[in-house]
């Protein structure tokens, strides 16, 4: 769809990947609702960068783990925009809210992860369908390896939540398909200014070195702008026949084989 003048809501867009998406859409004339939970100053900074691109929008606060606050957020969007053409579900809690290994995870941490991802997306998709014209775009930011790996032990709650999120996307792609609304997943790899960069410094540096050494074929970590570019692609008219799919935006990391040493794979 032509993007100039369209309206978007990006949850978790005060910084990081969400901010990168907001700026990329703003460069193409999309007016954006910048959602945040606690980082109000950062959200206002994102809005300032959106306006610097020649677009506009507003800032909205909500706790996406609480159904009533999701509904309040969409009520505000409807008052400000009237309709919504693009929804990007990106928000997640801080690491301390869920980052524990399987034998130590509490029910509170488990529910924080599930409610912020699967439950939030369920309610967002149901609600936005009433505001979104035919041909709209719904995109979930996930981490799809969560559904098939178990080695990142403290990620267990978020891994299960992301796997449920990926499944929900496929169901909504079918449910909304007759209206021409596409529903897709973007699965970033290791991305700077994201959850990865908020790990302890030595852990983040090890991840960065790992990817630069060749475990990502393109030889670097991703950036928020890389994810913004992928969202832009899925919002274009040319992507109107792509739905229920997972787009890995990871520099090729997901096609590497952990069974064989890197030197063998690179030839």
- Proportion of the chain above pLDDT 70, given as a percent: 99
pTM equals 0.95
Q: Which two tokens stand for residue 8?
A: 């978007």
Q: What value does the mean pLDDT take over residues 160-172?
A: 97
Q: In whole angstroms, how far apart are CA 188 and each of 206, 210, 228, 248, 262?
A: 18, 16, 11, 6, 21
Long-range contact pairs involving 174-181 (C-beta distance under 8 Å, separation at least 24): 174/244, 176/125, 176/129, 176/138, 177/243, 179/129, 179/134, 179/135, 179/136, 180/134, 180/135, 180/136, 180/240, 181/129, 181/132, 181/134, 181/135, 181/136, 181/137, 181/138
For the cut 80, the answer to whether the pLDDT of residue 197 exceeds it is no
Please tell me the distance from the alpha carbon of residue 145 to that of residue 174, in angstroms, as a whole number. Answer: 23
For the cut 70, the answer to whether the pLDDT of residue 265 exceeds it is yes
Angle at 35 between CA 126 and CA 124, to 5 degrees: 5
Residue 47 three-state SS: helix
pLDDT of residue 147: 83
Strand pairing class (31-36; 57-61): parallel
pLDDT tens track for 18-47: 999 999 999 999 999 999 999 999 999 999
Please tell me the distance from the alpha carbon of residue 158 to that of residue 99, in angstroms, as a whole number. Answer: 8
Residue 128 three-state SS: helix
Q: Do the beta carbons of residue 30 and residue 7 sit within 8 Å?
A: yes
pLDDT tens track for 57-96: 999 999 999 999 999 999 999 999 999 999 999 999 998 8
Please tell me the distance from the alpha carbon of residue 244 to that of residue 174, in angstroms, as a whole number. Answer: 8
pLDDT tens track for 138-148: 999 999 998 88
Number of residues assigned to the chain: 267
Q: Which of 21-25, 30-34, 179-183, 215-219 shows the lowest mean pLDDT across its residues?
A: 215-219
pLDDT tens track for 85-140: 999 999 999 988 999 999 999 999 999 999 999 999 999 999 999 999 999 999 99
Q: How many Cβ atoms sit within 10 Å of the Cβ of residue 125?
A: 22
Q: What are phi and psi of 169, to 5 degrees?
A: -55, -45
For the cut 80, the answer to whether the pLDDT of residue 195 exceeds it is no
Q: Which residues of 218-249 are buried (b: 16+ CB within 10 A; e: fewer)?
A: eeebbbbbbbbebbbebbeeebeeebeebbbb
pLDDT of residue 190: 86
User: 49 or 264: which carries more pLDDT confidence?
Assistant: 49
User: 266 or 59: which carries more pLDDT confidence?
Assistant: 59
Q: Pseudo-torsion of CA 135, 141, 147, 152, nearest 10°?
A: 180
pLDDT of residue 267: 63
Residue 12 three-state SS: coil
Does domain 7-250 fall under CATH 3.30.390.50? My reply is no
For the cut 80, the answer to whether the pLDDT of residue 194 exceeds it is no
For the cut 80, the answer to whether the pLDDT of residue 198 exceeds it is no
Residue 35 three-state SS: strand
For the cut 80, the answer to whether the pLDDT of residue 266 exceeds it is no
pLDDT of residue 1: 59
């Amino acid at each position: 769809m032509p993007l100039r003048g369209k309206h978007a809501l990006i949850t978790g867009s005060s910084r990081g990947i969400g901010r990168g998406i907001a700026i990329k859409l703003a460069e193409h004339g999309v007016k954006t609702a910048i959602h945040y939970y606690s980082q109000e100053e950062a959200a206002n900074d994102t809005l300032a960068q959106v306006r610097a691109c020649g677009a506009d929008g507003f800032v909205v606060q909500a706790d996406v783990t609480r159904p009533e606050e999701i509904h309040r957020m969409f009520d505000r969007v409807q008052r400000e925009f009237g309709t919504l053409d693009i929804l990007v579900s990106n928000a997640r809690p801080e690491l301390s809210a869920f980052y524990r290994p399987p034998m130590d995870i509490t029910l509170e941490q488990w529910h924080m992860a599930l409610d912020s991802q699967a439950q939030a997306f369920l309610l967002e998709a149901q609600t936005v369908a009433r505001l979104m014209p035919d041909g709209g775009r719904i995109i979930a930011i996930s981490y799809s390896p969560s559904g098939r790996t178990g080695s990142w032990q403290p990620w267990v709650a978020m891994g299960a939540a992301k796997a449920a999120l990926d499944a929900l996307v496929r169901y909504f792609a079918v449910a909304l398909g007759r209206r021409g609304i596409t529903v897709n997943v973007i699965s970033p790899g290791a991305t700077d200014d994201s959850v990865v960069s908020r790990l302890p410094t030595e852990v983040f540096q090890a991840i960065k070195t790992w990817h630069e050494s060749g475990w990502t074929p393109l030889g670097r970590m991703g950036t928020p702008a890389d994810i913004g570019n992928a969202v832009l692609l899925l919002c274009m008219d040319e992507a109107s026949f792509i739905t229920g799919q997972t787009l890995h935006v990871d520099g090729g990391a997901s096609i590497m084989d952990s069974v064989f040493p890197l030197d063998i794979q690179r030839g």
